[in-house]
Amino acid sequence: MTRTAAQPRMATSRRVRRRLAAFAVAALLTAGCTLPAFAPRTEVEGEAAPAGGAPAWRACPEVADELVGRGAPDMRYECARIAVPRDWGTGGGATAGPGAGQTFEIALLRARSTKQRDRVGSLVVNPGGPGGSGVDTAVYLSFGTQFGGLPTTITERFDIVGFDPRGVSRSSPVKCISDANLDASFGYDPDPTSQAAFDGFVGLSQRIGRGCGDRYGDQLPLYGSEQAARDMEAVRAAVGDDKLTYLGYSYGTLLGAIYAQLYPQRVRALVLDGAVDPRQRLVAGSESQARGFERAFGNFSRWCAANAARCPIAPDARAAVTSAIDKARVSPVRGDDGREATAGWVFYAVISSLYTESGWQELARAIDRLAEGDPKDVFRLADAYAGRQDDGHYSNLFDANLAINCADETEKPSREQIRQLQSQWRTKYPLFGPALAVGMLSCVEWPGRRDPYPTGRATGAPPIVVVGTTGDPATPYEQTGRLASMLGVGRVLTWEGEGHTAYPQTSCITAAVDAYLIDLTVPREGLRCPAR
């Protein structure tokens, strides 16, 4: 796998907080959200235990050292690996077909407080994506609420266990997209209006798909989400819990929902924050995100107009951003390293900054400095989204993202349909619609068969808490109730805030989720938490 470039050690709590705040930055538009890659991927060493077997845990403080510069106070970190069937098949393992008899290795990290008391069990976490590292996330969440992590009420009662899903980061990683093709994809015009430009993106999508198909062939479907949800049952067994306690963000809510359908009797408590509607197929999901990002950008624009002292592109942020993208199409600003801030890179800087309300001021500053001829802040925002390092190398975040999303997706609109939607959505969602339409080409041109996941009720499972944020751009709030309804046992918890995901943003959200995780107290029906 391609390793990411080393980052500076965190010398102050402010810098730690900034690093952990990046937890909310997301990735590929058609996927919802994921974490960027921040630091070298320390390998989780040791022989993998078979599925259902007891793993050999070893101390691994070096993972936190490389991610953040130090471990969290009063925290110990241990790592292990487990082996899982490449194809779970029917009844625990396929005996024929691609991957039969072979295994993937799943990397685990356990963060345990030295002040742990009245232990409940393990809290398994997944950050979303798909493509985000649960190992990294467990480290970030171990730092406490002052740094954007979990409250001590949770870390002193649970081991925090992160796993990298199959194909992601340290877990038998998928790597089949070149740095050059990723640069071309992110830098491409987000709204290729001419037929030649549209065809150019089709060709780029075909090259990416062909490269992955050539490398992984008929095993590409094995990276799908149902297989990963079955891996979660092996993780539950590996940590020794009779039932699963789980915190899933964004795409992680999909994994949790699938798990609840497959293993309802094994569910203790699931918190699904930033809900993905599993029944929403490619076109509907892409339009939903276009609507969500437009709404979030409108909220940013109104904030900008009302806070001109903090927003250098006030009073009309939309006009400033649109102008920046238009100018980048014809005369992109060149950075000190010779890289050009094309329309695509400006667009992804905008996307990146909408995942947290704290990113709004950074976006305004980046657009303002770009107008003055300085693209550094644009690149910083866009690169955080893309997982691109200073040396131009990428992690496998987007390789895994495509492999997983496209294995799951059965809907394949034609190029002609996508071209029509590009035009229609340009009218309905002018800044984000065309890019969300054209982005569907990535899975349309993906090779191999598909492996759709189940979309039914979690019959027999206890109540599951589904958390939604009213201003969420990537997993729009409307999906919250749909996921809860599909499961049949979902209880909606609403945060009237901005950005992507809610827990543990405010005392109201934190108190409700903590009570559920620790005591299984389900939030009251219709509970809505204020933004502040």
Give me 203's structure tokens.
């060709």
**Cα atoms in the Cβ-side hemisphere of radius 13 Å centred on 370:** 34
Give me 320's structure tokens.
């400033």
Give the span between the Cα atoms of 229 and 235, in whole angstroms.
10
- Catalytic-labelled residue, pool 164, 189, 383, 472: 472
- Catalytic-labelled residue, pool 185, 383, 500, 514: 500
Give me 475's structure tokens.
């997993």
Please say if 500 is a catalytic residue: yes
Query: CB-based burial of residue 92 (10 Å sphere; 0-12 exposed, 13-18 middle, 19+ buried)?
Result: exposed
Q: How far is CA 527 from CA 62, 492, 522, in A?
A: 41, 8, 10
Give the span between the Cα atoms of 174 and 134, in whole angstroms.
16
Cis omega (within 30 of 0) for bond into 504? yes
Listing DSSP states for 380-422 in one string gives HHHHHHHTB-TTS-B-SHHHHHHHHHHHH------HHHHHHHH
Q: What is the largest CA-CA distance in the chain?
A: 65
- Catalytic-labelled residue, pool 171, 172, 250, 353: 250
Give me 352's structure tokens.
């990146």
Work out the angle at residue 425's Cα, subtended by the Cα atoms of residues 420 and 428, and round it to the nearest 5 degrees: 140
Count CB neighbours of 492 within 10 A: 20
Strands (E), 325-373: 333-334, 340-341
Q: How far is CA 109 from CA 235, 254, 264, 316, 518, in A?
A: 11, 21, 25, 46, 21
Residues 6+ apart with CB under 8 A from 366: 349, 353, 377, 378, 380, 381
Residue 392's φ and ψ, nearest 5 degrees, are 90, 0
Please say if 250 is a catalytic residue: yes
Task: Using alpha carbons, select from 470, 32, 50 the residue that is nearest to residue 257.
Answer: 32
Q: Is 270:490 a contact under the CB 8 Å cutoff? A: no
Work out the angle at residue 49's Cα, subtended by the Cα atoms of residues 43 and 51, and round it to the nearest 5 degrees: 115
| 246 strand-pairing partners | 124, 270
Give the span between the Cα atoms of 524 and 465, in whole angstroms.
10
Task: Using alpha carbons, select from 210, 137, 212, 265 the residue that is nearest to residue 398.
Answer: 212
Q: Is 122:159 a contact under the CB 8 Å cutoff? A: yes
For the annotated catalytic residues, the residue numbers are: 250, 472, 500
